[in-house]
Amino acid sequence: MRRVAVIGVGVTKFGLHDRTSAELFADAAGDALSDAGISPRAVQALYYGNVVGSETEHQLHTGPQAASVLGIPSVPTTRFETACASSHAAFRHAVMEIAAGVSDVILVGGAERVLNVSTAESTEYFAYASDAVWEQPLGLTFPGVFALIARAHMEKYGTTEAQMAAVAVKNHRHGALNPKAQFQKQITIDQVLRSAYVADPLKLFDCCPFSDGGAAVVLASEEVARRHRKPVWVLASAAASDWMLLGDKRDLSRVPATERAAAAAYRQAGLGPTDVDVVELHDCFTIAEIVATEGLGLFEPGAGGRAAEKGLTSLGGEVPVNPSGGLKAKGHPIGATGAAQIAEIVTQLRGEAGPRQVDGARTGLTHTLGGNTATVLVSLFGRD
């Protein structure tokens, strides 16, 4: 198996845009190719994540459309849809293609546009990632899913609403340092706790926003990567799945798919949780970050909330989590999220993250969750 590296990254600003998903991806991809110092003609394949383009833009077949807008229509393209983990899944398959010797340069990323429709419509479209026979007819949306997870975690471990609020405060503090973030304003614990309930015990400031945006990364074989600046090596990339129906899950206080994907990634890389310097993980809701830090082995089960409250996951803390601001402050254009997380870790490991830089970071982890915890991707990265 050949070594694979990320040699270029690009991310649009997240928030409201009046451009199509394909145009947003093309912007990010152009920046990624420029960052890599290679021509679009060098790209041998395009793996693209997009989730609700058929609903918000009446656009299917989005892979070739993205390639066409980018000006490389003859490149083989594949669209991935694994809910919020779409572009991370695209990344993993691209890694395997290069490692297998099929291609030397692959462009990976994703984009989403959802702020052109109402909140009620986008909430409905996101809920399509839950079961259409048993759950959607009951009105179950993702705030409801993660409210159930939060309540289970609180009952089992004593996690508090203030500990969840600490996650929101920390990620907004980090997001204020990120010029690409949708929200660049700090908030307080009191503001979170006083915000309106969305799905008890989750409040408005426990929830990430709907976002438009695009992200892209350029992957290359070792032979190609050695000719470019500061390659960041892919040490591992693993995926895991779990029961789709909430009623089939045995313990809502944990995410077995995270635990399985993390274990597989650590085995691939020959590393453990204590070797990780910086983490970008899926904080669609504050409780999701707490549960993920435990599932990744960063903290013992039940200790994630206390770790956030003590500042262990803040910049300068024991294990900085979501220095980009995470989904909570950076934003969550679902098709682009996984690629954006990878772009942040690459930026961190290059030492180019500016005021949000994690000092001395040499090993990073990305974690992306899809839907109602049924899909999880975990990847590890390192510098020479």
- Known catalytic residues? 84, 332
86 and 47 in contact (C-beta within 8 Å)?
no
Q: Which residues contact 32 (CB under 8 A, 6 or more apart)?
A: 8, 9, 10, 107, 109, 216, 217, 218, 343
Helices and strands (DSSP H and E) totals, the chain: 14, 11
In 3-state terms, what secondary structure has residue 367? strand
**At what angle are helices 337-350 and 86-99 packed, to 10 degrees?**
60
Which residues, in sequence order, are bridge partners of residue 285?
207
323: preceding bond cis by omega (within 30 degrees): no
Q: How far apart are CA 239 and CA 366, in angstroms?
A: 12
- Amino acid 361 reads A
Q: How far apart are CA 23 and CA 70, in angstroms?
A: 8
- Amino acid 204 reads L
Residue among 205, 117, 125 at smallest CA distance from 162: 205
Q: Which residues contact 248 (CB under 8 A, 6 or more apart)?
A: none
Residue among 239, 261, 262 at smallest CA distance from 96: 239
Q: How far apart are CA 382 and CA 361, in angstroms?
A: 9
**3-class SS letters over 189-250:** HHHHHHCCEEECCEEHHHECCCCEEEEEEEEEEHHHHCCCCCCEEEEEEEEEECCCCHHHCC
